[in-house]
Amino acid sequence: MRYFITPALLIALKDLYSEWRTRQVVVTMLIFSALVIVTFSFAFDPTRQAVEALIPGMIWVITVFAGILGLNRSFLSEQKQDQLHGMIVAPADPASIYLGKVIANYVFVFVVQAISIPLLLILFDFQVPGDYGWFLLILFLGTFGFICVGTLLSAVSIQSKSSEMLLPVLLFPLVTPIVIAAVEATRIVLAQDASISEAFSWMQLIVVYDLVFFVAGFLLFEYVLEV
């Protein structure tokens, strides 16, 4: 426990603190997500009927695209001065670095979602019918799965010189199940005649995906970081 949870939390806190001092990544992600919303409103004329069909997709497009911006930077600060080596030789399980980074990245995306999704709902004048709880749960599960894979692949792609180009190419095919399942589940929950039970099978799929890739990240991260 001492060699696992504590280092993970320390790494997450370090990332969050340095982000708090610079506010570089999250602010860029926020501006980007606002621009995505604006671009969407130009690309699709948002009449009342269209909004209901568009909102679930837009929520996840914002999450995935803004998330990739953050993930690209996730290991950059460590890469710059070769601090990754310092982390590897530190007396901590390599998986704890993964856990720490997952927590930090999740918080970044969460902050972006917490601001941009209400903004999206306000700008498109959309009322969430029924329970917020299920919607938030789906958001949490989907984003978590995305971040799990994203953090692992971010550590892979950072070792290339063209990491910004490599990461989306690696990440998009792997997150297709999350995108499909999360968009469908969100659509069901946000529909006017929402019947939650239909969303359960999608949520199960997301949970399975989350578990599989969280465990895979835990086991494989060690090999990614090796020197």
Partner 1 sequence: MDNKNSIFRFLIPSKGYNILFYLAIPIVIMALYLTFIWSPVERTMGEVQKIFYFHVGSAWNAFFAFFVVLVFSILYLVKRKRIYDIIAGVSAEIGVVFTAIVLATGPIWAHSAWNTWWTWEPRLTTTLILFFIYIAYIMIRNMEGEWQKKARLASVFGIIGFINVPIVFMAVRWWETNLHPVVLGDGNEQSGGGLEPSMLFTLLFTVATMTLVYFLFLRKGIYIEQLRLETSKLKAKWQEKEINREAS
| Residue with token string 């999704």 | 117
Touching partner 1, residues 63-122 (CB under 8 A): none
Q: Is residue 209 near partner 1 by the rule CB under 8 A?
A: yes
Instruction: Tell me the longest C-alpha to C-alpha distance in the chain.
Output: 57
Q: Enumerate residues 6+ apart whose C-beta is below 8 A from 25.
A: 19, 69, 70, 73, 108
Interface residue with partner 1, options 45, 82, 91, 173 (CB under 8 A): 173
Q: Please report whether residue 149 would count as binding partner 1 according to CB under 8 A.
A: yes
3-state secondary structure 10-64: HHHHHHHHHHHHHCHHHHHHHHHHHHHHHHHHHHCCCCHHHHHHHHHHHHHHHHH
Stretch that binds partner 1, among 23-31, 56-64, 73-81, 162-170 (CB under 8 A): 162-170
| Least distance from partner 1 to the Cβ atom of residue 117, Å | 23
| Residue 166 Cβ vs partner 1, minimum distance, rounded to whole Å | 6
The reply on whether position 172 binds partner 1 by CB under 8 A is yes
Q: Which residues contact 147 (CB under 8 A, 6 or more apart)?
A: 67, 71, 102, 105, 106, 109
- Burial (0-12, 13-18, 19+ Cβ within 10 Å), 89: exposed
Residue 196 in the binding site for partner 1 (CB under 8 A)? no
195 binds partner 1 (CB under 8 A): no
Number of residues that bind partner 1 (CB under 8 A): 30
Q: Does residue 24 belong to the site contacting partner 1 (CB under 8 A)? A: no
The answer to whether residue 161 forms part of the interface with partner 1 (CB under 8 A) is yes
Smallest separation, CB 177 to partner 1 (Å): 4
- Matching residue, tokens 């600060």: 77
Taking the least distance from each CB to partner 1, the nearer of 130 and 168 is 168
- Interior CA angle at 178 toward 169 and 186, to 5°? 130
Q: What is the residue type of 135?
A: F
Give me the residues that bind partner 1 (CB under 8 A), please.
Answer: 149, 152-153, 156, 159-161, 166, 169-170, 172-174, 176-177, 180-181, 184, 201-202, 205, 208-209, 212-213, 216, 220, 223-224, 226
